[in-house]
């Protein structure tokens, strides 16, 4: 706690006597001054007492500055005293004159407390900062301070101190280098334009609106460090604090600069200093903290930024200065690489060619190959298996495939390509070179005279393998050519520094063993700089850094003088419009801004822009999206026969055998249909024939399909907006939700069972026969509600007594998802009379089934034929067989059990920290996370926020339940512990955000 120097009563009387306003005062933190928030009836103010011996000119400057800015609504208007003065004085206890002033309080919250800080907020900060400077440029006010430590123009003072403070040697070296670099360019720096700048838009001096989703900038406060200095210093200071807590500080700075530049154009000379100035500002802050800690240990406010600054120093110093400058140039609408235009001009007169790169007779006619994320040529099988890939490449005997510049691809899936950014886990996926799919041992030649800069073997998984980078010169410009996936370069006769001439053979195409594990090809890339790389250079970049990297790495087709076709991208806005035109509005899209997916692969989906999403929603892709074995089986069968059940075929028989073998003996007959709805529709038809009655017991919150009959038995549907309500033949059991349902806690199970009994006895009393009861073993759409304890077992006993059939809907829960058991009903130790299957059964292919007892099947065969054109067709059966095989051979039920347990544990840990998580429930990989307030009211708004934020972070989730406040987690059951760790990391990140915490 800081020492209170003034009684609050004294402050209140000072305000009253000078401003005539009755207020209540509270002290707030400050670096040197005594600051107070003073609150009158309808308005609050900021009241400041300057330290002893403050120069009056400084007080005057500040108060006049605020008066000058009075129509700029984002700074607090300076209040005049009753005597019309902008500031005033009093004598303190020690008889010293003290200056004070008062300005309007800006309501809002501090930037330092905002989470998350979006790039759009950063851009707004840049814009607001520039607007402030424009206002400041209209005054002649100034206060000259010599040797002001916080003026970046005086940065050299830290040279004396930085070695004396407790700072890692590595960091000291960075500071030394930066100082030296700045010293070298000092005269240039001194010539940069000067401006009256705020000079301290730190994260506690920016006031942000209370809107927790899309906040805006409301105020910029504290002009205590305002100084006339280089304008670029202002941007450096603002960037320093605006990037705190960012995992991608370069990108974050980019957005601040972009906003600033939209109002005040930054020059190329100014941009050149920005990286170093940010580093120096961080260093000054660190040195100041260390000195203050020594000299003024009691003032904790002087240490507020210390840890943030150490962290940001570490992150910033790891960024290459030259690369950062590329980003800044791009933010200011210059070509990211300073030489890009010049290179294009020069190279157009000095092109090389493919016939120089390869020997003419070793390549064929060039043909463009699309390997992008949406490529229909590239099946997942080919991504998985380089030999199949090679086979397909070699099918085309008369062409050499090439392509890939700026193509976003799904193939870079190894962890070496991955990084945690502010947008979640991201892979570098955008290809910066051109690939030539030529044979192993094809000779590769230098495209121009040059010097070998890098010759190495890159060992990373899916890396370059053998790699050579050659430096070339045209006029006074250096550029580089990169040759990747070569043979083992340990055996090369070349060394770094060797001269090579145009057309000279430099290497051969490597085998998969030598080339990073790829099918043989050449990755050929052009660079205008190799930054500080000594043994490597990126061949792919993050998709959203494409503009910067493509300026560093121009299109190699220009150098090789070949045509390059870029793929026409489908515009998503047009898709949205056409969807509106042709499809019904009640066919809904997920998320605030919908995603256009072009590829699925295992537990991931890829959008058209190449963003990879971890899928925790699509339980239909049970054994993984486009599972290679399933796709293979489907292709095989569709290639020879796909017909209906009216002919003999082994596939339908083996599927029936496979399925029935997974059930208790009693359930021995199978019917095949095309969907879960159809399965339930058929189950109801069967029960209707069996019992000759159309009355059903159903569960509140239950969902069984989209057809007329299945909607009639789905409380989730008939009871929702637009639904027709319950019909007289339906008897509802209250949803047995022990957490927020009609009955909760200890005796809930019995009470729900009593409700069931009441239905039975009432029906009997009214002479109403009931045909069947239909339930999901874990109610899904209703909110992932587990049926309590022995509830279902007890119901079944009564049902048997009353000759009422039990239909269990396993459309969501079946096929090993619940982990402990293969079917959900087995969790309840009952044997249903009829079981319905769907979703996972075809892993995305439409197939469903009804399984029932021999006796029921016999009664159903009443003369009326059962036939479905597509149900049980040869292809569907082949696929379903393969799904079962995949679950068994890969032990995926066990995986659902183990991974599910691990995930539920992790979610329970999160629930301990974040009270918004009221309940975590479920079995295996069928889990619900319910979001509530302290009074157990549902928080749909938070669930929607969470789902949309997780989507931005690259994780697909969904919210459901009767109050839409339950996060449903039901990923493909190949989900791994690593996936769980990622999911939990990102969930925690979102749960910590303002909308989830302060609302
Ligand atoms: N039953 C349950 C439990 C379901 O969740 C669903 C689909 N969500 C269905 C039946 C209907 O299946 P389909 O959409 O394949 O017709």
810 CB-side CA count, 13 A: 32
pLDDT at 544 > cutoff 80: yes
pLDDT at 362 > cutoff 90: no
pLDDT at 295: 85
pLDDT at 236 > cutoff 70: yes
pLDDT at 301 > cutoff 90: no
pLDDT at 841: 98
Question: What's the CA gap between 323 and 327, in Å, rounded?
Answer: 7
Q: Which atom of ligand 1 is nearest to the CA of 676?
A: 12
Q: Which atom of ligand 1 is nearest to the CA of 678?
A: 16
Q: 125 and 258 in contact (C-beta within 8 Å)?
A: no
Q: Which atom of ligand 1 is nearest to the CA of 702?
A: 3
pLDDT at 305: 81
Of 93 and 301, the structure prediction assigns the larger pLDDT to 93
Q: 922 and 778 in contact (C-beta within 8 Å)?
A: yes
Q: Is 933 helix (H, G, I), strand (E, B) or coil?
A: coil
Q: Hey, how many other C-beta atoms are within 10 angstroms of the C-beta on 190?
A: 10
Q: Does 674 contact ligand 1 (Cβ within 6 A)?
A: no
Average pLDDT of the residues in 584-613? 95
pLDDT at 999: 83
pLDDT at 1: 40
Average pLDDT of the residues in 818-835? 98
Residue closest via CA to ligand 1's atom 10 equals: 704
> Which residue from 25, 27, 23, 26 is spatially nearest to 40, judged by alpha carbons?
23
With 0-12 / 13-18 / 19 or more C-beta atoms within 10 angstroms meaning exposed / middle / buried, residue 414 is middle
Q: Does 926 contact ligand 1 (Cβ within 6 A)?
A: no
- Three-class secondary structure assignment of 487-529: CCHHHCCCCCCCEECCCCEEEEECCCCCCCCCCCCEEEEEECC
pLDDT at 783: 98
Question: What's the CA gap between 159 and 121, in Å, rounded?
Answer: 35
Average pLDDT of the residues in 921-946? 98
The token pair that represents 657 in the structure block: 């055998």
Adjacent-strand bridge partners of 505: 445
Pairing type for strands 78-79 and 97-104 reads antiparallel
Q: 687 and 809 in contact (C-beta within 8 Å)?
A: no
pLDDT at 564: 76
Of the listed ranges 70-74, 153-157, 481-485, 847-851, the least confidently predicted one is 70-74
Degrees, nearest 5: CA angle 928-933-936: 70
With 0-12 / 13-18 / 19 or more C-beta atoms within 10 angstroms meaning exposed / middle / buried, residue 729 is middle
Q: Does 809 contact ligand 1 (Cβ within 6 A)?
A: yes
Average pLDDT of the residues in 678-691? 98
State which H helix or E strand residue 959 sits in.
strand 958-960
Map tokens 């041992």 to a residue: 441
**Percentage above 70 pLDDT, the chain:** 99
pLDDT tens-place string over residues 795-813: 999 999 999 999 999 999 9
pLDDT at 129 > cutoff 70: yes
pLDDT at 452 > cutoff 80: yes
Q: Does 704 contact ligand 1 (Cβ within 6 A)?
A: yes
Question: What's the CA gap between 757 and 795, in Å, rounded?
Answer: 8
Determine the length of the chain.
Answer: 999
Q: 451 and 471 in contact (C-beta within 8 Å)?
A: yes
Question: What's the CA gap between 622 and 602, in Å, rounded?
Answer: 9
Average pLDDT of the residues in 148-164? 95
Q: Does 841 contact ligand 1 (Cβ within 6 A)?
A: no
The token pair that represents 626 in the structure block: 């486009």
pLDDT tens-place string over residues 970-990: 999 999 999 999 999 999 999
Centre of ligand 1 to C-alpha 725, Å, is: 19
Degrees, nearest 5: CA angle 707-780-591: 85
pLDDT tens-place string over residues 39-55: 999 999 999 999 999 99
Q: Which atom of ligand 1 is nearest to the CA of 781?
A: 5
Its pTM stands at 0.96
Average pLDDT of the residues in 448-453? 98
The pLDDT mean for the chain works out to 96
- All residues at 6 or more sequence positions from 966 whose CB lies less than 8 Å from its CB, including other chains: 783, 784, 928, 929, 930, 931, 943, 959, 960
Pairing type for strands 365-368 and 399-403 reads parallel
Of 94 and 274, the structure prediction assigns the larger pLDDT to 274
Q: Does 776 contact ligand 1 (Cβ within 6 A)?
A: yes
pLDDT at 588 > cutoff 90: yes
Centre of ligand 1 to C-alpha 267, Å, is: 60
Q: Is 885 helix (H, G, I), strand (E, B) or coil?
A: helix
Q: Which atom of ligand 1 is nearest to the CA of 848?
A: 15
pLDDT at 212: 97
pLDDT tens-place string over residues 397-427: 899 999 999 999 999 988 889 999 999 999 9
Report the Cα–Cα distance between both ends of the chain, in Å, rounded. 28
Map tokens 């400050």 to a residue: 30
Buried b or exposed e, range 814-846, using 16+ CB within 10 angstroms: bbbbbbbbbbbbbbbebbbbbbbbbbbbbbbbb
Average pLDDT of the residues in 338-344? 98
pLDDT at 3 > cutoff 80: no
Centre of ligand 1 to C-alpha 703, Å, is: 7
With 0-12 / 13-18 / 19 or more C-beta atoms within 10 angstroms meaning exposed / middle / buried, residue 872 is buried
Average pLDDT of the residues in 3-19? 90
Question: What's the CA gap between 961 and 779, in Å, rounded?
Answer: 9
């Amino acid at each position: 706690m800081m020492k209170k120097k003034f009684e609050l009563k004294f402050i209140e009387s000072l305000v009253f006597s000078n401003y005539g306003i009755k207020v209540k005062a509270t002290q707030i933190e400050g670096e040197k001054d005594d600051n107070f928030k003073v609150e009158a009836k309808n308005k609050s103010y900021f009241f400041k007492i300057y330290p002893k011996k403050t120069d009056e000119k400084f007080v005057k400057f500040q108060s006049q500055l605020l008066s000058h800015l009075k129509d700029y609504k984002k700074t607090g208007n300076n209040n005049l005293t009753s005597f019309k003065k902008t500031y005033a004085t009093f004598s303190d206890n020690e008889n010293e004159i003290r200056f004070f002033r008062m300005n309007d309080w800006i309501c809002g919250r501090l930037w330092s407390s905002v989470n998350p800080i979006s790039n759009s907020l950063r851009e707004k900060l840049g814009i607001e900062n520039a607007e402030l400077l424009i206002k400041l440029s209209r005054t002649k006010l100034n206060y000259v301070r010599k040797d002001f430590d916080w003026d970046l123009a005086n940065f050299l003072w830290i040279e004396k101190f930085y070695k004396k403070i407790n700072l890692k040697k590595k960091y000291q070296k960075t500071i030394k280098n930066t100082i030296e670099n700045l010293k070298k360019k000092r005269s240039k720096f001194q010539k940069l334009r000067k401006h009256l700048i705020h000079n301290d838009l730190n994260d506690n001096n920016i006031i942000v609106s209370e809107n927790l989703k899309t906040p805006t900038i409301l105020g910029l406060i504290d002009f205590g460090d305002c100084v006339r200095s280089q304008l670029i210093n202002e941007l450096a200071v603002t960037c320093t604090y605006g990037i705190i807590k960012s995992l991608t500080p370069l990108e974050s700075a980019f957005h601040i600069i972009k906003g600033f530049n939209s109002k005040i154009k930054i020059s190329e000379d100014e941009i050149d200093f920005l990286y170093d100035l940010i580093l120096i500002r961080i260093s000054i802050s660190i040195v100041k903290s260390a000195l203050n800690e020594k000299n003024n240990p009691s003032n904790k406010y002087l240490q507020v930024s210390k840890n943030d600054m150490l962290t940001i120093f570490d992150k910033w110093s790891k960024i290459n200065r030259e690369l950062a400058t590329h980003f800044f140039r791009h933010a200011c609408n210059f070509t990211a690489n300073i030489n890009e235009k010049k290179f294009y001009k020069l190279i157009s007169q000095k092109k090389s060619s493919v016939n120089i790169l390869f020997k003419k007779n070793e390549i064929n006619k060039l043909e463009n190959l699309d390997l992008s994320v949406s490529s229909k040529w590239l099946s997942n099988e080919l991504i998985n298996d380089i030999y199949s890939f090679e086979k397909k490449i070699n099918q085309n005997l008369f062409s050499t495939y090439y392509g890939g510049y700026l193509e976003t691809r799904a193939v870079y899936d190894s962890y070496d390509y991955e990084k945690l950014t502010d947008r979640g886990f991201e892979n570098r996926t955008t290809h910066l070179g051109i690939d030539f799919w030529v044979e192993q041992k094809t000779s590769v030649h230098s495209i121009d005279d040059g010097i070998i800069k890098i010759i190495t073997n890159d060992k990373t998984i899916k890396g370059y393998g053998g790699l050579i980078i050659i430096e070339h010169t045209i006029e006074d410009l250096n550029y580089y050519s990169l040759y990747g996936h070569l043979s083992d370069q340990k055996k090369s006769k070349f060394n770094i520094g060797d001269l090579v001439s145009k057309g000279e053979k430099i290497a051969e195409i490597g085998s998969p063993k030598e080339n990073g594990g790829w099918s043989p090809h050449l990755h050929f890339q052009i660079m205008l700089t190799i930054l500080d790389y000594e043994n490597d250079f990126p061949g792919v970049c993050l998709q959203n850094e494409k503009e910067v990297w493509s300026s560093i790495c121009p299109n190699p087709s220009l150098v090789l003088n070949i045509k390059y076709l870029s793929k026409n991208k489908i515009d998503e806005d047009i898709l949205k419009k056409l969807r509106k035109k042709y499809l019904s509005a009640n066919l809904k899209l997920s998320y605030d801004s919908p995603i256009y997916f072009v590829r699925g692969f295992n537990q991931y989906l890829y959008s058209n822009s190449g963003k990879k999403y971890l899928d925790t929603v699509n339980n239909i892709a049970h054994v993984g999206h486009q599972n290679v074995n399933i796709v293979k089986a489907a292709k095989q069968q569709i290639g020879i026969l796909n017909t209906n059940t009216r002919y003999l075929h082994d596939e339908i028989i083996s599927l029936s055998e496979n399925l029935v073998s997974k059930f208790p003996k009693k359930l021995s007959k199978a019917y095949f249909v095309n969907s879960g709805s159809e399965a339930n529709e058929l189950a109801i038809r069967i029960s209707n024939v069996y019992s000759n009655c159309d009355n059903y017991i159903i569960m509140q919150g239950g969902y069984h399909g989209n057809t007329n009959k299945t909607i009639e038995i789905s409380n989730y549907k008939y009871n929702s907006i637009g639904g027709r309500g319950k019909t007289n033949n339906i008897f509802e059991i209250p949803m047995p939700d022990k957490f927020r349902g009609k009955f909760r806690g200890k005796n809930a199970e019995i009470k729900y069972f009593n409700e069931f009994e009441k239905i039975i006895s009432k029906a009997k009393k009214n002479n109403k026969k009931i045909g069947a009861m239909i339930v999901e073993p874990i109610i899904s759409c209703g909110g992932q509600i587990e049926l309590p304890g022995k509830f279902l077992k007890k119901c079944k006993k009564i049902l048997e007594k009353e000759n009422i059939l039990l239909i269990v809907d396993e459309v969501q829960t079946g096929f090993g998802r619940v982990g402990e058991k293969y079917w959900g009903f087995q969790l309840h130790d009952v044997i249903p009379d009829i079981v319905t299957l769907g979703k996972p059964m075809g892993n995305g292919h439409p197939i469903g089934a009804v399984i029932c007892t021999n006796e029921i099947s016999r009664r159903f065969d009443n003369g009326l034929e059962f036939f479905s054109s597509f149900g049980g067709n040869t292809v569907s059966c082949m696929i379903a067989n393969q799904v079962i095989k995949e679950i068994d051979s890969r032990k995926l039920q066990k995986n659902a059990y183990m991974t599910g347990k691990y995930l539920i544990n992790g979610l329970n840990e999160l629930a301990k920290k974040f009270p918004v998580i009221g309940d975590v429930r479920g079995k295996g990989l069928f889990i619900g996370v319910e979001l509530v307030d302290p009074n157990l009211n549902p928080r749909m708004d938070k669930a929607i926020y969470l789902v949309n934020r997780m989507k931005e972070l690259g994780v697909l989730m969904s919210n459901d339940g009767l109050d839409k406040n339950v996060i449903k987690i039901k990923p493909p059951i190949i989900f791994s512990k690593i996936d769980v760790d990622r999911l939990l990391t990102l969930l925690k990140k979102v749960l910590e955000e303002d909308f989830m915490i302060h609302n």
